[in-house]
Amino acid sequence: MAASSAAVSRHMFMPAIAVLGVVYSSIFPVNRMSAESGDPYIGYVFWFSLIASAALLGICALRRQMPPITLPHVRAYAILGIVGVALPVPLLTYVAPKVPVGIITLELALVPLLTYLISWLLRIERLRASGVVGLMFGLAGMLLVLVPDVGLPDPDMVGWAALALIGPLCFACANAFATVFRPPAASSLVMAAGLTTCATIMLAPVIVASGHAYVFPGPVFEGNLAVLAAAAITALCTICWFAIVRRVGPVYFSQFNYFIVLGGFGWGMVLYGERHSWLVWVAVALAFVGLAVFNYGAARAARAAAASGAAPAARTAAD
């Protein structure tokens, strides 16, 4: 009976997960808008991270719940800030005008599969046949896209699409590292504020050294709009990521990636008139099959662990 109630409780979050996936996917056309407006891509990420950090810290101050600066907290902020924002977001912004939005979001279907692989390497997860099979399906889908003259409309995009794969690898590291480094009592708001603030601090010397520093607001309206939109998306989705994962678990939350892919293809078609070859849709199907196999196996493993008496993860009142 308890297991049934838990399942019903998780399903109540599915609308939120779906909306969050579509909202998060909108950051990819926003990144493209910024790149096409001529804003330096590292400077763009710095400014939207700074604005998101200021908003989150303001909420923390109103709630009298400022991010602690103990060693475990700062270590978590720094590690997750690097792999969750400071490294992948400038890279994906740089690649944005060079690859269709739908292709970049398709690559994010690898995130839960890569998360499983990294978690296994870190001995957080056990080796499961479903995990290996799901990863193989996902990689097969990516190969269909990356083979020259096959999935992409222009062979020159292959290198850029391959480079963009660093993004999902970083996000997968963030998922796995969040399990390892997140202090148990840290609330989702505190973690989101600490992560974005640390990412902003780390990006500050980089924009100066790279010559990407500029004063916001800039002269181009679209670039300014992109910064504000990205800041709002980042603040909202980072809080929700920490909050929902804690309540439904990483396996159930991984369905978020279905909606990122669907949202990304939708934004690309509506905003940029993107049309893809039938092989790209085969790649989407393979990626979805991989996710389905992975989620099914992970859910079975979770039920088996619960049946054997494994204690469920504790939640804190801080969220």
CA distance 238 to 158: 30
Q: At what angle do helices 27-36 and 221-253 cross, to 10 degrees?
A: 150
Question: Which band of pLDDT confidence, cut at 50, 70 and 90, is reported for residue 312?
Answer: very low
Does residue 317 register a pLDDT over 90? no
Domain span at 277: 2-307
Which segments of 60-116 are extended strands (E)? none
47-85 residue pLDDT tens: 999 999 999 999 999 999 999 999 999 999 999 999 999
> How confident is the model at residue 255, as a pLDDT?
73
Whose tokens are 């400014």? That residue is 47
Q: 316 in a domain, yes or no?
A: no
Average pLDDT of the residues of the chain: 83
> How confident is the model at residue 115, as a pLDDT?
82
Region of 249 please: left (phi>0), alpha (psi -120 to 50) or beta. left
Give the length of the chain: 319
Q: 318 in a domain, yes or no?
A: no
Question: Which band of pLDDT confidence, cut at 50, 70 and 90, is reported for residue 236?
Answer: very high
133-188 residue pLDDT tens: 877 887 787 777 766 555 666 778 888 988 999 999 998 898 888 878 888 888 88
Q: Which of 25, 271, 274, 22 is nearest to 152 (CA)?
A: 274
Q: 224 in a domain, yes or no?
A: yes
Contact between residue 84 and residue 199 where contact means Cβ atoms under 8 Å apart: yes
208-221 residue pLDDT tens: 998 998 989 988 99
Q: 317 in a domain, yes or no?
A: no
pTM for the model: 0.81
Q: Which of 297, 269, 306, 229 is nearest to 23 (CA)?
A: 229
Does residue 13 register a pLDDT over 50? yes
Q: What is the tally of structural domains in the chain?
A: 1
CA distance 211 to 127: 45
> How confident is the model at residue 149, as a pLDDT?
57
79-101 residue pLDDT tens: 999 999 999 999 998 998 888 88
Does residue 200 register a pLDDT over 60? yes
Does residue 8 register a pLDDT over 60? no
> How confident is the model at residue 62, as a pLDDT?
94
> How confident is the model at residue 314, as a pLDDT?
43
CA distance 85 to 198: 10
> How confident is the model at residue 12, as a pLDDT?
80
> How confident is the model at residue 14, as a pLDDT?
81
Structure tokens at 4: 């049934």
260-278 residue pLDDT tens: 888 888 888 888 887 777 7
Q: 94 in a domain, yes or no?
A: yes
Question: Which band of pLDDT confidence, cut at 50, 70 and 90, is reported for residue 311?
Answer: very low
Structure tokens at 59: 């909420």
Question: Which band of pLDDT confidence, cut at 50, 70 and 90, is reported for residue 251?
Answer: low
> How confident is the model at residue 147, as a pLDDT?
67
Q: Render 241-255 in DSSP notation, one character per residue.
A: HHHHHHHHHHHHHTT
Does residue 6 register a pLDDT over 60? no
> How confident is the model at residue 9, as a pLDDT?
66
Q: 319 in a domain, yes or no?
A: no
Q: 139 in a domain, yes or no?
A: yes
Q: Which of 49, 107, 95, 97 is nearest to 238 (CA)?
A: 49
Q: 312 in a domain, yes or no?
A: no
